[in-house]
Amino acid sequence: MKRKKVVVQHLIEKTAKHARRKEGGNMAGKDEFGTTKYVVYAEFEANGVVERPDVVGAIFGQTEGLLGDDLDLRELQKTGRIGRIKVDVHTKAGKTYGTITVPSSLDRVETAILAAALETIDRVGPAEARIRVIRIEDVRATKRKYIVERAKEILEGMMQQEIPESQELTDEVKKAVRAKELIEFGPEKLPAGPHVPFSDSIIVVEGRADVLNLLKHGIKNAIAVEGTSIPETIIKLSKERIVTAFTDGDRGGELILKELLQVADVDYVARAPQGKEVEELTKKEIVKSLRSKVPAEQVINEIFYKGKDFYEVMREKNREREEKEARPLIQPQPAQPVKMAPREEPKPQPKPEPKREERIVKPIQRAPSGELNRFSDFIEKVKSNGSAILLGENGDVVAEVPVRDLLSTLGEKEGINAVIFNGIITQRLIDIVSEKGVKYLVGARKANVVRRPIDLKILTFAE
């Protein structure tokens, strides 16, 4: 019996050596997963300390001749139908634990038989052992899953990088040209259109994207403030040019507009439609917004003194315009005063007109007093035709121009003693007429006046 045990141990060691040679030689360089269909995963437990070659030797030695020549592990490795057997071992408390991985290119049935054969091994080296197959993995199913996921990623990449349409190519070229047209103006290097350095009028917007959008639609005299703090360049330009503030239709645009009106000499105010930004407007919306601009004096009076916002001002302006347009249609109706008079009283349309007339006519009917007497004729004239009259030292008329041209005319004329117009007297107008040496400034009322020159008399006839 003792001799038999020695012979068995010798055979085990010989088998282990043979397995090590096979592992280092025959299988060197082989890609065991190149043609693999299935992978057998098993775990083992040995009641003693054994090493990796002992496990490999036991697998080859105890399965030899068990399944016949067709399923002999050595023959299957020679033909490449079984890949390199991987064994991981670790010891704990005098026992050895580990995992076995067997790649197989056999069919499903043969792989299952081979996996079952592994569980017949009951000894590894000198120790008793137990092997249990955990699972058999179908490598092709894993590959198919990977292929599907990777194909999705590739397809998404292709869809994102698809060939652009001709219109997209055109827009891309135009965008590049517009970016080249964009210049940096002033010490702050503010984004601006190419016409800003020499244009008589400029449009002040909020950011670089707004300037680019205006350039896209052919407007090249825009400049951006680039933040909530108004740059000194904008303040200086506002004293030399005709400035239109064009801001977004949101809360941020309202804040920038209020600051602009306080620190810069703005002539007109335009705003994007409520809830929209200048950078996203179409050409039609841009043109409509700029055509609907409002004189800055009116906006200052309404926002700072009556607590209204820009859109309320615009709605009132539109209502007044609609009423004026509708008035000629209403006036011809009373062709028969005796018959129509009783019918007109209950109608809702004539009712607001007396209030409007009362608001406009009442200040006009006030008789001038004190120093206003000397200008009474001119005051009545500007009330009737809405013009501005410039008088010389001798009281002669130097110029009579529309109110919108008052500032430009003041810059051209010399020797002006008095200015009479039916409008709002602002701080900017006071500063300009003071520099020109004007002695009398006569207007309907004052707004936002914080300082008054000593040698300038300011008279109002509607307050």
Q: What is the CATH number of the domain that holds 12?
A: 3.30.70.3250
224-251: average pLDDT: 88
301 and 250 fall within a common domain: yes
Q: What's the pLDDT tens digit per position in 59-73? A: 988 888 888 888 888
- Residue-wise pLDDT for 420-442, tens only, equals 998 888 888 888 888 888 889 99
Q: In whole angstroms, how far apart are CA 228 and each of 206, 231, 252, 362? A: 8, 9, 8, 42
Q: Which of 321, 339, 362 is the last residue of a domain?
A: 321
Same domain, 180 and 81: no
**What confidence category does residue 358 fall into, taking pLDDT thresholds of 50, 70 and 90?**
very low
Per the structure, the count of domains in the chain is 3
Alpha helix positions (H), 138-247: 139-160, 166-181, 208-216, 232-240
Query: Whole-angstrom Cα distance, residue 384 to residue 386?
Result: 6
**Are residues 297 and 399 located together in one domain of the fold?**
no
Cα gap 407→372, rounded to integer Å: 23
pLDDT, tens digit, 9 for 90 and up, residues 165-217: 666 666 666 666 666 678 889 898 899 998 898 888 899 999 888 998 898 88
Name the more confident of 341 and 370: 370
Same domain, 216 and 307: yes
Q: Within a domain: residue 154?
A: no
What is the residue range of 453's domain?
Answer: 370-460
Q: Is the model's pLDDT at 39 over the cut of 90?
A: yes
Q: Which residues contact 406 (CB under 8 A, 6 or more apart)?
A: 388, 419, 421, 423, 429
Both 124 and 42 in one domain: the answer is yes
- Pairwise CA distance, residues 213 & 181, whole Å: 12
Is residue 339 situated within a structural domain?
Answer: no
Residue range 65-89: mean pLDDT, rounded: 87
For 32, the token pair is 């065991």
Tell me the mean pLDDT in the region 332-356: 45
On whether both 128 and 195 belong to a single domain, the answer is: no
CB atoms within 10 A of CB 388: 24
Q: At 446, phi and psi to the nearest 5?
A: -105, 155
In a domain, 412, yes or no: yes
Where residue 32 falls among pLDDT bands split at 50, 70, 90?
Answer: very low
Report the C-alpha gap between 410 and 429 in whole angstroms.
10
- In tens, the pLDDT along 133-142 reads 999 998 888 8
Q: Are residues 204 and 312 in the same domain?
A: yes
pLDDT of residue 432: 86
Residues 6+ apart with CB under 8 A from 393: 415, 417
Question: Within its chain, how far is the Cα of 455 from the centroid?
Answer: 53
Report the C-alpha gap between 367 and 145 in whole angstroms.
94
Is the residue at 350 inside a domain? no
Within a domain: 51: yes
The verdict on 420 and 279 lying in the same domain is no
What's the mean pLDDT in 270-286?
Answer: 90
Element (DSSP H or E) covering residue 458: strand 457-460
CATH number of the domain enclosing 451: 3.40.140.20
Q: Which percentage of the chain shows pLDDT scores above 70?
A: 73
Looking at 263, 291, 321, the residue that finishes a domain is 321
Answer whether residue 333 shows pLDDT above 70. no
- Coil, helix or strand for 254? helix
Give a yes or no: residue 40 inside a domain: yes
In this model, does residue 347 exceed pLDDT 80? Answer: no
In a shared domain, residues 176 and 289: yes
Residues 183 and 132 grouped into a single domain: no
Which pLDDT does position 102 carry in this prediction? 93
Confidence band of 86 (pLDDT split at 50, 70, 90): very high
User: Are 245 and 386 part of one and the same domain?
Assistant: no
Please report whether residue 148 resides in a domain. Answer: no
User: Is residue 366 very low, low, confident or very high in pLDDT (cuts 50, 70, 90)?
Assistant: very low
Q: What is the pLDDT of residue 444?
A: 83
Q: How far apart are CA 28 and CA 398, in angstroms?
A: 109
pLDDT of residue 337: 47
Indicate which CATH number applies to the domain containing 226.
3.40.1360.10
If asked whether residues 176 and 312 sit together in one domain, one would say yes
pLDDT for 411 equals 81
Q: Is residue 164 part of a domain?
A: no
Q: Which of 288, 321, 354 is the endpoint of a domain?
A: 321
